[in-house]
Structure 1
Amino acid sequence: MPLGTGEFEEAWPRIVRALASFTGSLDDAEEYAAEAVARAAAHERAAGRPIESYAAWCTSVAKRAWLDDARRRAVERRLAPQLARPEVDAPTDPSGHAVMDADLSRQGLDDRLALLFVACDEALSPTSRMVLALRVVCGLTIPEIAGHLGVQDTAAAARLTRAKRALAEARGAFHVPPPVEQERRLPVVLACVAAMFTVAHRTALDPADALSDTGRQALSIADALVATFPRDTEVRGLRAVIRLGLARRPGRLDPTGTALALDEVDRTRWDRSLLAAGLDDATIAAAGDGRFAIEAAIAGLHSVAPSLERTDWPRIALLYGALEERWPSPSVRVARLVATAHAVLAGEDGGATTSLTEVERELTSLETRGPAYASRDAALALADLEWRTERREQAAQRYRDLAEVLDVEPLRRFCLRRALTPP
């Protein structure tokens, strides 16, 4: 039967995990999974027998294809190993693959988490882990990964290739780490899921359908993380950030698909049940003081504010300062400066000595010397500051320049609208 909404996203990691366990290689797993998916699509187009279980069908087809290729290569090399017979699910399979599959299933891990923990192997550098996890498990494209990391597409692609090679050399056959290793790898896993949601939040303001909704897919993985680590404040903080971000998404665009400024958002359109669930997670996360606990607190303040003017900007600026100490990212610095500017404009800077001139100076530095994502955010923040301080001609020129380079259509339309608004 044809795949329903969201079924592919659920089936793909299950197929890849089973094949990685079977073949011992993430590269082979992806290659044969893709081939099986293509065969499934051809099968459906040809009106063949309905596929009752997509994941099982694709896994079985891929395993047979891998075995056929392995046998052919063995003959070509004039080798005679004892290859697994076709009934690969039998526990007595001489290759040992079925036993490995059984060991994995007993761990009770969600398939996506299993792959994330494999990709975030400590034998790889932090950046390599991130690239491998975002591509293989989270499904981001190379340009999306490169944009998030602030590197060139070619650099991201090269890191992916090196990561796969290094993982194969360091660990040999595919295996899911035991619980102790999972705990050590958890911070990188959380960072990967956060990156997945960040990319979705920046680029997919209005997903066309559930299949392209990377933000909802990130929430699904966060749910699995909470089920596995229910008392971890960072895990709960991450899910709070994702829940609250998704809850506020309905108000981000106007009826024409143009992005809205914070003071234009219709907050009555926010998803109240998802907001409540996110605030519950943020409350639990507040017992910790890590990166995601702080991010959850910031998201919570934005979510309970009745308007832009009545947002607690001084407290948000303080929280961003604390976050910057724990995670000194250029994007966090931009967000802290934006919150500080709002506090100053509202006359609620809490006695801080920072002026708008100093804020603009720092934003200009980030715009000209920061990575691409921070440069874009800084330019948008500068344009908004100029707009709100009645420097409309300067703001219009900056918005025109931004419209020339932005590739997110709702944001491009927003910039054009402001650029064309009379002073």
Structure 2
Amino acid sequence: MTVEGTAARSTTRRSGGTGKRASAARKKKTATSATAEPELVQLLTPQGERVEHPDYAIDPTPEELRGLYRDMMLTRRFDAEATALQRQGELGLWASLLGQEAAQIGSARALHDDDYVFPTYREHGVAWVRGVDPTNLLGMFRGVNHGGWDPNSNNFHLYTIVIGSQTLHATGYAMGVAKDGADSAVVAYFGDGASSQGDVAEAFTFAAVYNAPVVFFCQNNQWAISEPAERQSRVPIYQRAAGFGFPGVRVDGNDVLACLAVTKAAVERARSGQGPMLVEAFTYRMGAHTTSDDPTKYRRDEEREAWEAKDPILRLRTLLEKEKLADKAFLDAVDEESDALAKRVRDAVRTMPNPDTMAIFEHVYADGHALVDEERAQYAEYLASFEPEEAK
């Protein structure tokens, strides 16, 4: 019999053998534990006040703080421009990161150049930090390339549309890193909805068993399209790591300093051979899941308004102004740089050349294949049927 069971029987005997009081006590305890707020690592409050945490200390320089603010501002401006371009018919789709800038910029700034990142399709801020040109992201959503960047040049994998599969890719890559004896870490980004996928559970299992140097970074933005987070897990997502044998932590996903500190600790842990860790960045998707989604159909305006008060950029700007770490000239310069970035990507998208239609048949096999040659010829004939007679 378990210790808990023994204690329950002892309580029953003391209460006269009826067991009613013990049963009520157990129910009360369960209800209390279920409704208790989980620990949330926070270093910068929504009011812009610095606070301390016993396990995650960080002391960024004024220049680093300004850099984090600049990263978030440029990422948000680029994201807003991409949304506008989709509405104008220039992009087929766009997945906005609005509200998740702190989670992405903070975590990405914690990485070394030789660390490797496996993103989903929303990690535009991480891509920015890793040096991926924003126009390459837009090219994929415009349909003129399949990513447009070399993953090995930035240690930033191509975007993954299939939900959750990148966690398996990251785990396998991390297992290889460990066998090669390298001291780099691997980070897999995914959302709260992806945590329901079997791929994620399998990745957790393999990462734990093989002690892989991988950090699972879950951006819990509260909504998996129209499904709320409670439909994904009956317990806080970070607590699920314990069932697989590695630690998990929940961080304020709208606090760029906390995201930086926690991710830095997690990747250092992975690099030192201590295995995987799960970081749950508790944040909020301020916009739609993608531009094909209408969030007003499933969530209340009051909910968004409550999260707007926790805006990640506003709280860092409040700190910078309060501590006199950024003057008007700096803030104005960031605004001007943001507008210039928006113009650059807007002009780039509108002038992107269409891809070579026949390129789809290239690089299918290393040495060519008769069936591919046949398909290429058939498709070329099909396209030629649309040409006017005088052009033939």
Tell me the TM-score normalised to structure 2 length: 0.26
> Where is the strand percentage greater, Structure 1 or Structure 2?
2
TM normalised by structure 1 equals 0.24
- Report which of the two has the higher share of helix: 1
